[in-house]
Amino acid sequence: MVGLMKKSNTPKAKTQKTTTQTGPKKSKKSKTGSIPKSTPSKSEKPSSPKKKNWKKWILYGIPILIILALVATLIVVLTLEKFGEDKEEVEVCETKECIMLADHLHNWKDDSVDPCQDFFKYSCGKYNEHNVIEGPQMTKKTRITEKLIKEFLKKNESSNSKTENAMKHLFRTCEESNDESKKYVIEKERIKYIKQEAIDIGWPLADPSWSSSSFNLPEVLRKIPSILDDERSEIGYGLFKLRIPAARKVFIGATSEYFFHFDSIKKDIERVLGTGAPWNLYTIVTEIIDFRSWPLLTIYLHQSLLSKGPRSWGKVKNKIYGWKNFLPQAKKIKDLVYKDKRITANYLVYKYVSNSLRWIPVSHGCDHDVIKYLPLPSIRVFVRNHFDKGGLKDVDKLVEDIRSGFIDMIEKSKWIREKTRNGAIRKAKAMKKTISYPPELEKPGALDEHFNIQLDPSDSYYITMRKIDRASMNLLLDFVSSDFSMGPQFTLEANALYAIFGNSINVLAPIMDDPLFHSSFPNYAKIAGIGFIIGHEIGHGYDIPGIFFDENGNLNPWHDKKDEPELEKKIMCLINQYNNYDDPSFGKKLNGTTTLGEMIADEIGQDVAWRTFKKLDLSQEKKIIGFEDYSIEKLYFQIGATNWCSPRSALKLDDQLKKVHPTNSFRINGLFANEKAFAETFNCPVGSPMNPVKKCTFF
């Protein structure tokens, strides 16, 4: 009751107070000394001291207000300046190369796609809207480089360089051979020249006066070699071939040129001999097909190839290796060759003729012939006219950083034993490198001294190709003898390469250029771009068959056999992952066995690149325009994805299944799905496509 009464009394008192005040505002003012207008006479006396208060307030208050206003203004200004300083601390890369990179990152991606579902589509979904090249950026850069060489050839300006003049001469004669008004005459002259060459070598089919007593095998071998492959690293001698990989070694093995098609052989012979073909041609063709060559004694290499000219047998003889048990069969050659000299001569010279007939200019562009057959001079033109050498030191340092990241990965690997660990580190430390172009060939005329080719202005396309072929073979052997620094791995391609027989990597000049790389790029962009590619190439030293070759490039397994069961599990994980990958172009119909080596290299390359990235002080890195507030970790993965952005594959499934590289979609989605850091960066739910429960890793 007491509480209830108190509760009811309190509002009553308030009610009385408020209801008795008829003018609440006037009542308040009266308490503070305000003067009602209704009683002016009573306000005169007390107004005097209040007026003085007003004067004091005006005298002191206004300046105080002004000071307070100024202080407030100063605080605002300082705050804005501080905010501006904070904004300025976010440095942005504003070079034209960085602007191009920003353009790719902004315009190629499809924001409507969840990166945790399909990172390839998220990063590259709109690539088609901005590109016409059938392939990723490396393909695009290669095509650009080829066009630069074509422009150089079209200008046809005079040059003091023999190799540059050889390029222009080959281009001119190629175009002349494709001229419909000249084609017939040029082809007739070519066939006539090939026939005369065959007679000079000693071809019983073309020379009725040929005698077995004149047959000299070393002399025939000296005259018939031809480069066989597109990589221009194999020299065919009919009975055998020399393979010179991107290492200072010569592998001698069985020739890969086997002839089983009777009609094609008969057609070739009739094409060269015309009406002069012998009446018993059927029997002769059968003998050529039945001829089976066995390995040739290495002494013939000395006599037929290296005894004449500047080649040094002493520097080469200890670098010759048998290919696939070839040399143990060498004794059989003597009986085979001298059993019937006429059949041997017909066989050897026919193979020379057959190789000669394939030298016809391409119809889709003579600039491609120049780049294919004169790769070293073509690279020299690109480097001299279009290559920014400012990035050489950056790439050299990047190779060393990636190498260091690889060693760090091996040291921290939890499943390999000490023998495997030590062997892997030893191989990594011994791995040689070549960046762009050998500096000793930079000076004018340096390449001319090695690539000794003497062309006459009247030389036809065929004669020019013969001279180029001979000069190229000499260069290959000079590379083996260490008299020349550039091997067959140098091509005009935007790529990097690993040489298993030399344990070396070569970063080609075109890949060290915009849009794949530029010295002005932030370090994280360099690592995500060609840093990954360098890591990938280093990874080939540890794939299958890389683990069977030691630090000197010799077949000498260095891993602990006890590690093989775990290695096999990791291999099968990658194979099954690719087999079950739902590719946008081919579905779940891919074969991981074929692409295993490249997938291992990708896994190693990504692991090593991420470790290198994590060593950066990101606070010191410039941002990309439009990504100032974007996570650099996210940007790293997106830049890495742009390496493989490409349109839907134009290949048929059968053709794709023959490729050793996985699809571009898998090289983004499959690779990053195995990276724990990717899922953490994009906060992908466990079990989502880009964060599977089971991940495939290597080291």
* pLDDT tens track for 86-143: 445 679 999 999 999 999 999 999 999 999 999 999 999 999 999 888 889 999 999 9
Nearest residue to 246 via CA among 578, 582, 508, 572: 508
CB 186 within 8 A of CB 177: yes
Distance CA 202, CA 456 (A): 26
**Residue 326: per-residue pLDDT:** 65
Nearest residue to 541 via CA among 574, 504, 495, 594: 504
Q: Which two tokens stand for residue 66?
A: 């002004």
pLDDT digits (tens, 9 = 90+) for 466-493: 999 999 988 888 888 888 888 887 889 9
Is the pLDDT reported for residue 694 higher than 70? Answer: yes
What rounded mean pLDDT belongs to the chain? Answer: 84
**Residue 190: per-residue pLDDT:** 93
Torsion, Cα of 602, 604, 605, 608 (10° steps): 160
Contacts of 264 (CB under 8 A, 6+ apart): none
Torsion, Cα of 550, 552, 555, 561 (10° steps): -10
Mean pLDDT check: name the lowest of 45-49, 217-221, 485-489: 45-49
Is the pLDDT reported for residue 59 higher than 60? Answer: yes
CB 119 within 8 A of CB 628: no
- Sign of the C-alpha dihedral computed for residues 560, 565, 569 and 571 taken in this order: positive
Number of neighbouring beta carbons within 10 Å of residue 36: 12
Nearest residue to 206 via CA among 220, 195, 217, 216: 195
Highest averaged pLDDT of the listed ranges 27-36, 320-329, 625-634: 625-634
pTM of the model as a whole: 0.82
Contacts of 247 (CB under 8 A, 6+ apart): 487, 499, 501, 502, 504, 553
Sheet holding 432-436, edge to edge: 432-436, 504-508, 496-499
Distance CA 450, CA 484 (A): 7
**Residue 633: per-residue pLDDT:** 97
Label residue 10 by pLDDT band (50, 70, 90).
very low
**Which 8-state DSSP code applies to residue 59?**
I
44 versus 524: the higher-pLDDT residue is 524
Distance CA 548, CA 559 (A): 8
Label residue 176 by pLDDT band (50, 70, 90).
very high
Distance CA 295, CA 299 (A): 12
Nearest residue to 301 via CA among 356, 230, 246, 251: 251
Nearest residue to 110 via CA among 98, 122, 97, 128: 122
pLDDT digits (tens, 9 = 90+) for 552-568: 999 999 999 999 999 99
Torsion, Cα of 440, 443, 449, 451 (10° steps): 80
Q: Which two tokens stand for residue 14?
A: 């308030």
120 versus 32: the higher-pLDDT residue is 120
436 has which bridge partners? 508
Q: 221 burial class (0-12, 13-18, 19+ CB within 10 angstroms)? A: buried
Q: Which two tokens stand for residue 676?
A: 């724990």
**Residue 308: per-residue pLDDT:** 43
Please give the share of the chain, as a percent, with pLDDT higher than 90: 58
77 versus 240: the higher-pLDDT residue is 240
In angstroms, what CA-CA distances link 126 with 117, 121, 288, 667?
A: 16, 8, 57, 18
Q: Which two tokens stand for residue 426?
A: 């030893």
- For residue 104, the surrounding DSSP H or E stretch is helix 96-108
CB 188 within 8 A of CB 460: no
Phi, psi of 175 (to 5 degrees): -65, -35
Q: Which two tokens stand for residue 413?
A: 């690997």
pLDDT digits (tens, 9 = 90+) for 604-614: 999 999 999 99
- For residue 151, the surrounding DSSP H or E stretch is helix 137-155
Is the pLDDT reported for residue 21 higher than 80? Answer: no
**Residue 302: per-residue pLDDT:** 47
> What is the DSSP annotation of 183-249?
HHHHHHHHHHHHHHHHHHH--TTT-TT--GGG--HHHHHHH--EE-STTS-EEE-SSEEEE--SSS-
Label residue 602 by pLDDT band (50, 70, 90).
very high
Is the pLDDT reported for residue 256 higher than 70? Answer: no
